[in-house]
Amino acid sequence: MLDIILIQHADTGINLLEYRQVNTRMKLEHSDIFSGFMTAIQNITSELDIGYVVLISTEGKKGHNCIIIPKYPINVILLVDQEDPIDLWKEEGRKIANKFIESFGFSFDPSQVQLFQSFITVIKELCATNEYCE
């Protein structure tokens, strides 16, 4: 089941939009920590010139997959249960990235975060067609 979708500005690491499922396990106060962690990981791999991180996994009773879709100028980050099909979520992430860029273009001011809130409607529509969303 989907927990969170973050849309992050690739250059600054600013969270442009966060979509949370009703029963997500991640608390709201952890979002900034999670986003900062994702930015740090992306910066390290970029500095080392070893490509993009696209998947981080945890195992266990509360295991999750963190799927990252880099589509400049954004990264779409999906946090999903470990049992969910990764390929399905990669495809959903690509759809979200493409629709976001269609809506806002490649050149926007990432500090104007309130402008992106309308995109939650698009995410809800995509989620309504997915059995792994609430």
pLDDT at residue 42 greater than cutoff 80: no
| Domains of the chain and CATH, by start | 2-128 (3.30.450.190)
Q: Which amino acid is at 51?
A: G
Provide the pLDDT confidence category of residue 113 given band limits of 50, 70 and 90: very high
pLDDT at residue 70 greater than cutoff 70: yes
d(CA 116, CA 16): 6
C-alpha distances in angstroms, 8 versus 23, 25, 85, 129, 132?
A: 22, 20, 23, 24, 22
Provide the pLDDT confidence category of residue 24 given band limits of 50, 70 and 90: low
pTM: 0.86
Question: How high is the pLDDT of residue 85?
Answer: 93
